[in-house]
Structure 1
């Protein structure tokens, strides 16, 4: 009983600290935006997932939002969608398997426990490649200022799983989202932000049932190039 009480007190302190830190921090953590692609490219003006992020930003009185990706061939151009400027940022994992290859689960566990070693990640946004996290975030903050952002910046990760179980696999942008949370708030609060973000689409996205109900079909269509519309 005594140890249970101690554990509860510790949990309350951790959750309380995280809530206070996030409330006064530079980001508003949202979470996962999608389970699978429904059209490609999907962060593009007028796309359902882009408009969903716009909606989340407007609900929080924000002029901008940051979406996290795992880098592929795109330049990850930031863009205006309605009243919200969407800032795109992608992670380049110099030691990873890449966005389209099988997940290295042991490597993922080590990253979750200890964070990424210095120099492992590079970043891409607006056709530019940044060697360090600080350089990438300077770019993000500059864009936010130029587009009249005031208050914390809503942040989400893309989330589409190209293959496999779209519920378990957290998809594109998840490692970058976790790193931003860890760098900003510390490792333990980052875990709480991560778990909240994993639950977020189940509570918020209107496309949840469609995406999960047709996940295998949509993954096949995407991998065969049938979802491209530009």
Structure 2
């Protein structure tokens, strides 16, 4: 009985903390957008994941929403999805990309944070040397499109190959870094936990993505999902 009360109390405190801080910062971390790609490119006007982003923004009365990525060859342009402005930002590794999860790195960065000089950043084809510069640009673009209050933040979350539940996919490290910069380490841990749960409660395509993950990963890596 006492354990149950303690758990409920912790959930209430954690939920209250997230609610309060989410209205105080420049960004409101929501969580993971998707598990796997359904089409490529998926951050494209009219795509179901792009429409889902816009829905998340409208539900919160926001005119913009930010989705963060692992940086590939894209320029990560910002664009309109209906009446919502989709902001895109990617982190670009300075060292060669290696697939999978480096658990030593996860542990170290979970405790000490991600080094400021580890990445560069890209949005609208522009390169930024620091996260502060990149986020200043994002906030400027949001203001140009009438944004008031915190900008909802999601990480893309798609996994190209392999396991999709533990591996949080595209953009998760940048989501964590932004949350940590905005709300400190404890806030970042809570927002990451919330973010991992988010698609199970909010993504209407979750069952399709999970059930067909292996097939969709194969189609993507063999250029069978391209429609542009």
Per-residue Cα deviation, 1:196-224 (whole angstroms, up to 9, x for no partner): 01101000111000000000000011000
Give the TM-score taking structure 1 as reference length. Answer: 0.91
Query: Secondary structure, in 3 states, of the residue corresponding to 1:186?
Result: helix
1:79-158 to structure 2, matched below 5 A, reads 79-95=79-95, 97=97, 101-158=99-156
Over 3 Å off, 4+ runs: 5-19
Per-residue Cα deviation, 1:43-99 (whole angstroms, up to 9, x for no partner): 00000000000001011111100000000000000001100000000011224635x
Task: In structure 1, list runs of 5 or more residues that go unmatched.
Answer: none
* Deviation of the 1:105 alpha carbon: 2.1
* Deviation of the 1:8 alpha carbon: 8.9
1:190-201 to structure 2, matched below 5 A, reads 190-201=188-199
Instruction: Tell me which moved more, 20-29 or 81-90.
Output: 20-29
1:13-52 to structure 2, matched below 5 A, reads 16-52=16-52
Give the Cα–Cα distance (whole angstroms) in 2 for the partners of residues 149 and 91 of structure 1: 23
Give the Cα–Cα distance (whole angstroms) in 2 for the partners of residues 180 and 93 of structure 1: 16
* Deviation of the 1:175 alpha carbon: 0.5
* Deviation of the 1:162 alpha carbon: 0.6
* Deviation of the 1:13 alpha carbon: 5.6
Contact 2:101 / 2:167 at 8 angstroms: preserved in 1?
no
1:60-79 to structure 2, matched below 5 A, reads 60-79=60-79
Give the Cα–Cα distance (whole angstroms) in 2 for the partners of residues 82 and 197 of structure 1: 25
Give the Cα–Cα distance (whole angstroms) in 2 for the partners of residues 170 and 96 of structure 1: 20
* Deviation of the 1:37 alpha carbon: 0.4
Per-residue Cα deviation, 1:116-158 (whole angstroms, up to 9, x for no partner): 1131121110001100011001110110011010111111000
Distance 1:22 1:229, change over 3 A: same
CA RMSD after TM alignment: 2.3
